[in-house]
Structure formats: structure tokens, C-alpha cells
């Protein structure tokens, strides 16, 4: 790996971590779509700040963009508070309008501006190692500017989360309780909005607006499927974010395609995996658990059936493996396979196609009946 | 102004945007009522990979081929969004955001892979994002009509079912309506509309056209059929006016954003000034109600005081009334109004007693209390 590649990957990972940290709270508070809105409206902040300063490299652009992000959220909330518009519709009203103003401003004054629309969406991560984008202090090269910025954002986000962990937790999971014990959840909400805006703006310079949404939503949602504990969810979210960043980078490298695009693709694939195969909550795991339970229940039912007919005249008929499915009203194939399992696990023996209980099987059957009577 | 009318193709641009506005408004009504306003945003972003795959497969930039591809990936995205929130504990907002960004990112990856240029995407992407209403040809308008008419007919046929699912899902379920099928049908219609409009207004503005007319229309009526029609009209109007405005000046301004700003203006006016639901209206009503309430309470205080303090001859001062009122600063105005209405009489300087008319008025009001 060349130094440039290392630097790009480091930046991608740093961005992923910064976004995943905010993302966890967005996902838990059902505010993920605000990141979508913010990532669109930072454009107007940039445009306005550019008109005011006339300098594309000015740090005021970041301030303008962050302000625009916070402003967006406040607008959405005040629209909601009027009671005439629901949250989803409020988001859908505010960001296209602000975005349209930005597009119009750009198109009217585009002759004098160098505002690259594509760069806004796709980001300029591939340009990270360029000499003009490096941070040099006193002749020492401290690496790319955006990496330094991203590290600062991570530190701020982490500091916010660690300092206000208890408050974040209580206001996220039980806002009413939080209010009852005298802590207004709105302050935490504002802090979170500010941190999401700052993160979105900083990452958006590196990876573009769409990837910001992907990195805020996908790793956190994946982590949400993996654990029930907030602290562990934060860790998982960061790990998954970094994994998406590195794998995405190499996918882009192989295909010679957009880095931002392939990072979000990988993040999506990882989410898909978790959706199906997460140990507790994956679709496949849930299905498998249901299947196992079903199987266990059927086995117990078979054993109970055997105890009922043990030593009766009809035992030969009722417990015959060939006609078992008729008495239990099961699928023939299923009856056979459950009977086979009973023999396999030493719960029953097979004599001349007739199933007979072993002591172990009898105990299981009686226990099951016991549970049944207790329940009723 | 008149020169603009002679701009070649302006007629088809206006016809196209008007039709699209109407269609988006009507279908957006259902999306907004079902709290799926941002579904349109997600689906329109998710059309990108389909467009590119279609371009690769058919190797053409024919509208129908691209539309087919977009429709397939849009449908897939809609199903994934519904699936994630239905089969896992991930909530709808996250499933929308994930689907939107991942599909779009995947499309971006495909696009740059096709072009083998990792740094920037070309005009195609810009067109996808912002649309190019100005290049609408007669042919595109016919294609748009070919999509719009079946969509509107479907809405007409399934009107009752859509209405039921929008307002009372559980009731629909209990009646035995195939609710899931209706959900899917509505999503499919949404995909069709989005695919039809992508080329004209682009992704971001598409979502605005689906949300804004419906929100504006909701302010003016409580009836679904009027809301849908009104939303359609708002959409069509902003389409027509937007194409006009953007073609008036010498330099051409992108049509999509102008349309969006117009419809946003309509929303703003509707939210503020619509009767019964507008903010200004509600504020006025609140102000009027609180005035009446204050008036009644001052009068009632005065009557009670008169009863307790030996006969009607002794008046009570303003200061006394202020002392027992919950809103002392409003008392002088209320007293003034009561004097005007003849409900209160000034027996001495600064001392007031209720008149018989005032007592009757109060009795009339309070006699309703405690009864249904």
C-alpha cells in the first residue's frame, strides 16, 4: 500500500466512526431521516457563506453549512409544532425547498463560482492526498487536512457521548422519565442535532452527502440488530462503519469506481447480512428458532402419544411407524422424521415398526404432561 | 414576456410539467396521509442503479428502456423498505434512510465503474438529480400521458379501498380487504409516477412534488376526494407557472427548482391562511375565545361579589376585580366591553354592579354547564 492509499483509508475510517457514533442515537430516536435532510441543506449554507466571503476555502463555509443543518432541524420541528404537518411531511417540505434555493442561486451565479455539484454528492475523498490539501504547521506535514478535521470531530463526538452518556440514555429511551426527574431532554436533543450537523458537514467534504446518510444509518441499524446494550451498540456501530470503509475502499479500487459509492454499497451488504443472520434477531435465526421449537414440541407430542397407548390393545396399531401420521394428523414425511429423531435420541426404540418408549422417553413425556397440567 | 411564448417546445414543457404536477399531487395525497411522505424521496433515489443497469443492458438512452430499469429498481427498493420495517425491529425511518443511501451509493458505484473514472460523475448524474424539464419533447409528453392515464384510472377504480386503508387500516383488515395487496399497489403506483417524473424534475424535486401539494390541499378540506383533486390542481398549477417563470428571462433558470419553490409558497400560504386549519385562523380563534372567557369570568366575579356583599347597591372597584382575576391586566378592557354591552352598570365613580341583563346573560351561560 502506498502512503496515499493508507491516508484515504484512514480518512474513510475516521469519517465512518464519526458518523456511526451519531448514527446510533439517530436510529434509536427515529431521527435518521433528519440526516438525509441535513445532508441536502448544508448546500445552501455553503452557497450563502461563499457569497458572503467570496472564498471557497474559507472556514466560514463550514460554519455556514453547520448553521444551515441546525436551521433545517429547527424549521422541521417548528412546522411540526404547528400541528398541521406531521414529521415525515415536514422533512419532505423543508429540505427540497432549501435545496431548490441553493440550486437556483448556483445556477444564476454559476459563472463566477466554482461550486462543483458532483463533488457535493460524491465527495472528494480520492483527492485527499493531494499536496494542496495537506495540513502543514511549521514545516511539518501532519497529513491531510480533512483527516485532521475528522479526528477533531471524532473527539468532540466521543466527548459529548461520554460526558452526557447517562443523559443521552435516559432521554433516548424514556423522555418522559427524563423530564420527570428534572432533566429537559430538549437540551440533549439540541446537542445531538448540533453534533450531527457538524459531523455531516465535515464528512460531506470528504465523502459527499449521500454517503453521510449511509454511514449514519446503516452501521447503527446493523448494530441495533446485534445487541440490546447501548454501549455495545456504539462499539459495534464503529466497528461496522470502519469495516465498510476499508472493504468499500478496496472494492472501489478493484472496480476503479467511486469510493463513496462502494462504501455505502458495502455498508448495505453488511446490513443485509445482519438482517438475515444476526444471532438473536436475524430473519434466518428467528425462523430457525421457531423451527427448533416446533420440532421439540412435536417430539414431546409423539412421546406423549406413546405413553397414552403404552400397554393397550391398540398399541401395535397406534404406535406403528407406518400409520403414525394418521393418528397424529401430521405430514407422513414429518411423522417419519420425528420418529427417527425419537429413536436417534434414545427416547424410543423401534421393534418391528412399532415404537416403544425407553425410560428416558417416558420421563420426557411425563414432564411434558406435567407442564401441560400446570399451565391449565 | 411574449418572446418566451415562441421558445420552441415550451408548449410541450408546460403540458408535461402540468400533467406531472397533477399526477404527483393526486398520488402524493395517499403517501402523505399514510405517513409515507419520504417514501417518494427514497424510491426516487433508488432508481439510479436501475437506470444504469438498463443503460448497460440495452445499450441505449431510449426513455422507455431507462424507465423500465428505474421502475424495477424502484419497486425493489419499495419492497425492501416495507420488508425491513415489517420483519425486523429496525424502524421505518432507518429502513428508508438505509435503502435510499445504499441504492444510490450502489448506483454511483456502477456509474463510475461504467465510466472508469473514480473522481467525478458526468452530465448523466446531474440530469438524474436535477432533471431537465426544458428538454421535454412531444414524444416525452405522450410517454408521460401513457403512464399518467392508467395510474389515474387505477386510483379511480380502487378509490374506496385506498380511502379505507388510508384512514382505518384495522377496519379494512377486519372487513377482509387484502390490505397488504393495497399497500403494494399504492407503492407500485408511486414508483410509476416517480419513474415518469424523474427525467423532468429530478430526484430531489420529485419528493417535493409528492409531498407539498398534498400538504397544501389538506389545509383546505376534510374530504379525501376534494383533497386529491386540489392537490392535483396545485401540482399542475406550479408545474405550468414554474415552466413559464423559468423561461421568461434571457438566461434560462432550471425549471425543477422553480416549480418546487412555487409549490412551497403555496404550502406556506395554505398553512398560514387556510380557514379552520391555518395558523393565523387558529390564532385568531384562540384570541377571540380567550376574550370571551375573560369577559364571562369578570362578569361572574362581579355577580358573586354583589350577591355576597349586601345587595346590589354597593358597587365594586376595578382593583377588587383585578385582585381576584387570573389575568388582572385584561380586566379593564373586559369591564369596558361589559359596560358597552349593557351588562354592567357604573353606580358610582369607579364602582360597578351587574345589571339585570348581565345576570340573565350569566345565568344563560352557566345553565348549560354540567349538562351534556
CB-based contact (8 Å) between B124 and chain A?
A: no
Angle at B281 between CA B279 and CA B282, to 5 degrees: 65
Q: Which residues are within 8 A (CB) of A326 and not within 5 positions of it... i.e. 6 or more apart?
A: none
CB-based contact (8 Å) between A255 and chain B?
A: yes
Q: Which residues are within 8 A (CB) of A262 and not within 5 positions of it... i.e. 6 or more apart?
A: A248, A249, A251, A252, A255, B105, B109
A327 with A358, same domain: the answer is yes
As for how many domains chain A has, the answer is 2
- Provide the shortest C-alpha distance from residue A215 to chain B (in Å): 9
Map grid coordinates 467525478 to a residue. Answer: B120
pLDDT, average across residues B59-67: 75
CA–CA distances in Å: residue B255 to residues B133, B246, B266: 6, 5, 17
A303 with A261, same domain: the answer is no
pLDDT in tens, B268-319: 999 998 888 888 888 898 888 888 888 888 888 888 887 777 655 677 888 8
| Nearest C-alpha in A relative to B219 | A84
DSSP B130-190: H--GGG--HHHHHHHHHHHHHHHHHHHHTHHHHHHHHH-HHHHHHTT--HHHHHHHHHHHH
pLDDT (tens place) for every residue of chain A, 376 residues total: 788 888 889 989 999 999 999 999 999 999 898 888 888 888 888 888 888 887 766 778 888 888 999 999 999 999 988 888 888 899 999 999 998 898 888 877 765 555 555 556 666 676 666 666 676 666 666 677 788 888 999 999 999 999 999 989 998 998 888 888 888 888 888 999 999 999 988 887 777 777 889 999 999 999 999 999 999 999 999 999 999 999 999 999 998 888 888 999 999 999 999 999 998 888 999 999 999 999 888 888 888 888 888 888 888 788 888 888 888 888 888 888 888 888 888 888 888 888 888 888 888 888 888 876 665 5
To 10 degrees, what angle do helices A87-109 and B255-273 make? 140
CB-based contact (8 Å) between A81 and chain B?
A: no
Using DSSP's 3-state secondary structure scheme, residue A113 falls into coil
Cite the DSSP H helix spans in A125-164: 145-163
- Provide the shortest C-alpha distance from residue A251 to chain B (in Å): 10
A265 with A326, same domain: the answer is no
CB-closest option in B113, B208, B219 to A257? B113
- Structural domain including A365 reads 284-375
Mutate to test the interface with B, among A93, A111, A196 (most CBs of B within 10 A): A93
What domains can you pick out in chain B, each with its CATH number? 2-274 (1.10.3470.10), 281-366 (1.10.10.10)
| Nearest C-alpha in B relative to A82 | B279
A265 with A341, same domain: the answer is no
pLDDT value for A277: 92
A150 with A289, same domain: the answer is no
Q: What is the CATH number of the domain that holds A343?
A: 1.10.10.10
CB-closest option in B88, B101, B264 to A264? B101
Domain end residue (candidates: A219, A249, A279): A279
Q: Is B105–A262 a contact, with Cβ atoms under 8 angstroms apart?
A: yes
- Provide the shortest C-alpha distance from residue B184 to chain A (in Å): 20
Q: Is A118–B125 a contact, with Cβ atoms under 8 angstroms apart?
A: yes
CB-based contact (8 Å) between A35 and chain B?
A: yes
A165 with A194, same domain: the answer is yes
Mutate to test the interface with B, among A29, A86, A92, A114 (most CBs of B within 10 A): A92
CB-based contact (8 Å) between A126 and chain B?
A: yes
Radius of gyration of chain A (CA): 30
Nearest to B258 by CA among A40, A100, A98: A100
Q: Is the pLDDT of residue B78 over 80?
A: yes
Domain end residue (candidates: A232, A263, A279): A279
Q: Which residues are within 8 A (CB) of B88 and not within 5 positions of it... i.e. 6 or more apart?
A: A225, A275, A281, A283
Report which secondary-structure segment, H or E, holds A135. Answer: strand A134-137
Query: In A, residues 303-322, which contact B (CB 8 Å cutoff)?
Result: none
Q: What is the CATH number of the domain that holds A192?
A: 1.10.3470.10
Domain end residue (candidates: A264, A279, A294): A279
Q: Is A122–B129 a contact, with Cβ atoms under 8 angstroms apart?
A: no
Amino acid at each position: 500500500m502506498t502512503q496515499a492509499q493508507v491516508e484515504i483509508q484512514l480518512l474513510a475510517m475516521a469519517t465512518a466512526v464519526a458518523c456511526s457514533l451519531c448514527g446510533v442515537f439517530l436510529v434509536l430516536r427515529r431521527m435518521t431521516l433528519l440526516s438525509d435532510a441535513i445532508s441536502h441543506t448544508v448546500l445552501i449554507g455553503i452557497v450563502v457563506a461563499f457569497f458572503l466571503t467570496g472564498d471557497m476555502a474559507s472556514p466560514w463555509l463550514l460554519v455556514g453549512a453547520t448553521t444551515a443543518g441546525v436551521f433545517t432541524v429547527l424549521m422541521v420541528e417548528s412546522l411540526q409544532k404547528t400541528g398541521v404537518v406531521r414529521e415525515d411531511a415536514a422533512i419532505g417540505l423543508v429540505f427540497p425547498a432549501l435545496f431548490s434555493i441553493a440550486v437556483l442561486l448556483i445556477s444564476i451565479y454559476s459563472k463566477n463560482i466554482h461550486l462543483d455539484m458532483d463533488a457535493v454528492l460524491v465527495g472528494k475523498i480520492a483527492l485527499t492526498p493531494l499536496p494542496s490539501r495537506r495540513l502543514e504547521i511549521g514545516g511539518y506535514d501532519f497529513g491531510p487536512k480533512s483527516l485532521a478535521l475528522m479526528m477533531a470531530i471524532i473527539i468532540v463526538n466521543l466527548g459529548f457521548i461520554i460526558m452526557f452518556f447517562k443523559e443521552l440514555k435516559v432521554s433516548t429511551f424514556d423522555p418522559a422519565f427524563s423530564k420527570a426527574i428534572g432533566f429537559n431532554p430538549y437540551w440533549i436533543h439540541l446537542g445531538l442535532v448540533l453534533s450531527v450537523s457538524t459531523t455531516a458537514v465535515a464528512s460531506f467534504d470528504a465523502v459527499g452527502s449521500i454517503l453521510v446518510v449511509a454511514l449514519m444509518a446503516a452501521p447503527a441499524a446493523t448494530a441495533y440488530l446485534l445487541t440490546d446494550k447501548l454501549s455495545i451498540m456504539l462499539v459495534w456501530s464503529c466497528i461496522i462503519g470502519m469495516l465498510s470503509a476499508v472493504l468499500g475502499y478496496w472494492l472501489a479500487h478493484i472496480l476503479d469506481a467511486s469510493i463513496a459509492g462502494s462504501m455505502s454499497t458495502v455498508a448495505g451488504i453488511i446490513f443485509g447480512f445482519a438482517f438475515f443472520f444476526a444471532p438473536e434477531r436475524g430473519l434466518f435465526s428467528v425462523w430457525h428458532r421457531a423451527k427448533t421449537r416446533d420440532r421439540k414440541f412435536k417430539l414431546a407430542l409423539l412421546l406423549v402419544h406413546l405413553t397414552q397407548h403404552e400397554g393397550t390393545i391398540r398399541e401395535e396399531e397406534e404406535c406403528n411407524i407406518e400409520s403414525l401420521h394418521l393418528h397424529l394428523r401430521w405430514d407422513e414425511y414429518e411423522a417419519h422424521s420425528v420418529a427417527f429423531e425419537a429413536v436417534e435420541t434414545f427416547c424410543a426404540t423401534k421393534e418391528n415398526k412399532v415404537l416403544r418408549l425407553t425410560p428416558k422417553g417416558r420421563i420426557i413425556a411425563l414432564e411434558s404432561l406435567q407442564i401441560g397440567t400446570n399451565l391449565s | 414576456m411574449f418572446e418566451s411564448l415562441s421558445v420552441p417546445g415550451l408548449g410541450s414543457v408546460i403540458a408535461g410539467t402540468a400533467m406531472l404536477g397533477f399526477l404527483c399531487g393526486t398520488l402524493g395525497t395517499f403517501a402523505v396521509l399514510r405517513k409515507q411522505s419520504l417514501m417518494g424521496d427514497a424510491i426516487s433515489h433508488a432508481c439510479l442503479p436501475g437506470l444504469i443497469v438498463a443503460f448497460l443492458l440495452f445499450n441505449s438512452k431510449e426513455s422507455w428502456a431507462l424507465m423500465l430499469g428505474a421502475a424495477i429498481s424502484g419497486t425493489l427498493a419499495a419492497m425492501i423498505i416495507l420488508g425491513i420495517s415489517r420483519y425486523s425491529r429496525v424502524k421505518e425511518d432507518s429502513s428508508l434512510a438505509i435503502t435510499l443511501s445504499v441504492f444510490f451509493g450502489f448506483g454511483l458505484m456502477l456509474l463510475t465503474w461504467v465510466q472508469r473514472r473514480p473522481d467525478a460523475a458526468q452530465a448523466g448524474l446531474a440530469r438524474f438529480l436535477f432533471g431537465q424539464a426544458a428538454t421535454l419533447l412531444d414524444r416525452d409528453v405522450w410517454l408521460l400521458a401513457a403512464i399518467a392515464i392508467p395510474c389515474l384510472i387505477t386510483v379511480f377504480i380502487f378509490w374506496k379501498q385506498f380511502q379505507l386503508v388510508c384512514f382505518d387500516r384495522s377496519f379494512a383488515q377486519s372487513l377482509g380487504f387484502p390490505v397488504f395487496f393495497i399497500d403494494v399497489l399504492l407503492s407500485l403506483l408511486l414508483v410509476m409516477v416517480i419513474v415518469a417524473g424523474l427525467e423532468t424534475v429530478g430526484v430531489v424535486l420529485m419528493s417535493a412534488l409528492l409531498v407539498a401539494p398534498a400538504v397544501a390541499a389538506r389545509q383546505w378540506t376534510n374530504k379525501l376526494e376534494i383533497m386529491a383533486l386540489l392537490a392535483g390542481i396545485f401540482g399542475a398549477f406550479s408545474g405550468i407557472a414554474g415552466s413559464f417563470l423559468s423561461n421568461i428571462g434571457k438566461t434560462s433558470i432550471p425549471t425543477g427548482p422553480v416549480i418546487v419553490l412555487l409549490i412551497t409558497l403555496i404550502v406556506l400560504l395554505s398553512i398560514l391562511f387556510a380557514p379552520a386549519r391555518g395558523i393565523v385562523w387558529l390564532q385568531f380563534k384562540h384570541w377571540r375565545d380567550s376574550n370571551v372567557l375573560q369577559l364571562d369570568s369578570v362578569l361572574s366575579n362581579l355577580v358573586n361579589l354583589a350577591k355576597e356583599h349586601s345587595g346590589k347597591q354597593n358597587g365594586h372597584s376595578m382593583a377588587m376585580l383585578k385582585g381576584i382575576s387570573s389575568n388582572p391586566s385584561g380586566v379593564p378592557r373586559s369591564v369596558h366591553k361589559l359596560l358597552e354591552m349593557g351588562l354592567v352598570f357604573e353606580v358610582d365613580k369607579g364602582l360597578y354592579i351587574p345589571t339585570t341583563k348581565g345576570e340573565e346573560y350569566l345565568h344563560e351561560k352557566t345553565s348549560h354547564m354540567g349538562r351534556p
